[in-house]
Structure 1
């Protein structure tokens, strides 16, 4: 790494830390003002609320990290321009794109970090926030409202397995009043009724079960077998697949159009179970998938945007950088939400809705940078 790169990075890191901390405090404070009555109603004290927001911070990073990076870059570039350092660097034969190399590297690292926070840390952090929220709730309430999802219909279109579950344990993965219908390789249609089922050692164990087997050619009179415990290895659906189906089917079209709701793993699991998905559900999930995939690259895009605004010739006031970051952030937010609504409603393809904001703003940044002299 050249001495120039180290200098530019050092001058960026301090404002970046301040901006990230400031935006995080701002968004946490805004959320706290809105959620405080609910948090107090759950009986949480000050330490519990602090713990709650520690676990909730990965959810805020997709907004905080790009905005903090944008403002820090504009500030750092404005400071360099104020002391005519950018002019001196370019006069020494360093191109603007070579000067931007350390900033682009920071944007790439931030994109990777945001992806990890959203896809790996995020799901675990979300579960931890739910645990904190329900720490002081009555155990009976938790069992009836939080630990069990009632009347679950789960279909594996690839294998042809149809599950009807009276109650599914979100934490224990137990099932009550289970009804499974499938046709095996032997062309025998089977219907399994069980009072309870549990997932152990990678397979489902059904207790107090009765099996109806429709063996050709006597399809009107099934063979009935009753047993205390039975295992069917061909019923290989994992509990996380059922939980993904429950989560995705819980959200309505309006809720999906407002923000990104699901991780890539949840969407891929659902699409693997329903490969011939069409209609509004396909539009919703394609938009959510590409939106989630494109979201981390926003950090790289803001570097391309900050470069022409911050490196323009002339001395700039810091307030101009703040105003520019607010304006750019607002425009990006509006375009992102508009794309999400259009994609969710099926008006544009999901990949267009997900990637359009990044592509448009990146193209604008590259073109403006190219025009700089």
Structure 2
């Protein structure tokens, strides 16, 4: 019976339920505190746009909360682990379970199962909710918290070079020949000097060029405006220069990011940073599986020895050490010092071995 990872259904349900409620409570506390602090810093910017009010503040909160949840869910699981195991140890419940013949791995098994379920939910939540809210929030911020196009797949604040000229567009919507541009400004330059600017509210692909509607030209030398109406420009500018000018991994799902990486490769563009981010979309949620293992040091050892607090601190240090190593590895991946797979998975595999080594050495 003791060879099973779940020798007692009652104990497994009790520990799993206790752990889950602690994780939810810690996540709610973190989200509430961090969202209040974030709103205090951004409320002025949101309300600065004419016509914005309480409804826009709540809209900002609805877009920001998913990001906070995705970022701090592993922290919440770590804190939930430490509180759960410290309480069980202080009440001598861990000693009772070990006296009944359960090993350290069997005690942690219900927590690992719940952490695995949280990781699966986290991945789905990131793919379905977080990437969309992030893309919308970035586009809204780029528009000064004003109106943004309602279309999906919006990219904001894109710059493209056309020979000596520079093309800026507030929003890019769509892909391929279906790309449409909003808020276009063309900086007409010769020899590095600005000659004129052309502005148009919208534009779309037409043949091998771009048609701008209601265009106006400002001549720098004369200091006057000319109404151009509908014009065709940019025969050397491809649609992918707008759609791939800035690929933000945080605004794309795992599969969408894979398609963007393939397009960048076909265009001869570097993709190592995006490949690391794509791998991390899996490794990030799976980091919740490490938290019960890294926090397990708080569960074992005699509570009355006076070292329970020290054990909890050690567990917290191991957990936060993982987050530091994870961010460091991603930074090295961005710089090209680490291969993409290593940048995403090395901290996870390293701390998995560290956690198992500590657990086996001290308890098994």
Q: Same fold (TM over 0.5)?
A: yes
Question: What residue is the counterpart of 1:289 in the other structure?
Answer: 278
Which one of 152, 174, 177 corresponds to residue 180 of structure 2? 174
Which one of 171, 179, 195 corresponds to residue 211 of structure 2? 195
Moved more, 40-49 or 80-89: 40-49
SS state of the match for residue 313, structure 1? coil
Does residue 74 (structure 1) correspond to residue 90 (structure 2)? The answer is no
CA contact (8 A) 2:159 2:169 kept: yes
Inter-partner Cα distance in structure 2 for 1:49 and 1:40? 8
- Judged with a 3 Å threshold, the aligned counterparts in structure 2 of structure 1 residues 93 and 18 are, in CA distance, closer, same or farther, namely same
Question: What residue is the counterpart of 1:359 in the other structure?
Answer: 349
Question: What residue is the counterpart of 1:6 in the other structure?
Answer: 13
For this pair of structures, how many residues does the alignment match? 303
Question: What residue is the counterpart of 1:371 in the other structure?
Answer: 361
- Judged with a 3 Å threshold, the aligned counterparts in structure 2 of structure 1 residues 122 and 330 are, in CA distance, closer, same or farther, namely same
Does residue 108 (structure 1) correspond to residue 107 (structure 2)? The answer is no
Does residue 304 (structure 1) correspond to residue 303 (structure 2)? The answer is no
CA contact (8 A) 2:27 2:76 kept: yes
Question: What residue is the counterpart of 2:216 in the other structure?
Answer: none
SS state of the match for residue 271, structure 2? helix
- Give, in angstroms, the shift of residue 57 of structure 1: 1.9
Question: What residue is the counterpart of 2:99 in the other structure?
Answer: 91
When normalised by structure 2's length, the TM-score is 0.69
Inter-partner Cα distance in structure 2 for 1:350 and 1:18? 35
- Judged with a 3 Å threshold, the aligned counterparts in structure 2 of structure 1 residues 136 and 177 are, in CA distance, closer, same or farther, namely closer
- Give, in angstroms, the shift of residue 334 of structure 1: 2.0
Structure 1: segments with no counterpart, 5+ residues: 155-163, 181-191, 198-206, 213-236
Which one of 126, 133, 136 corresponds to residue 118 of structure 1? 126
Inter-partner Cα distance in structure 1 for 2:89 and 2:302? 7
CA contact (8 A) 2:20 2:114 kept: no
SS state of the match for residue 246, structure 2? helix
The Cα RMSD (Å) is 4.0
Q: Can you list the C-alpha shifts for 1:43-99, whole angstroms capped at 9, x where unaligned?
A: 543443233222222212233211111111111111111121111111212222122
Q: Can you list the C-alpha shifts for 1:285-317, whole angstroms capped at 9, x where unaligned?
A: 22222222311111111122112x122211177
Moved more, 4-13 or 100-109: 4-13
Inter-partner Cα distance in structure 1 for 2:43 and 2:311? 33
CA contact (8 A) 1:16 1:69 kept: yes
* Alignment of structure 1 residues 9-88 onto 2, 5 Å: 9-42=16-49, 44-88=52-96
SS state of the match for residue 211, structure 2? strand
Does residue 314 (structure 1) correspond to residue 307 (structure 2)? The answer is no
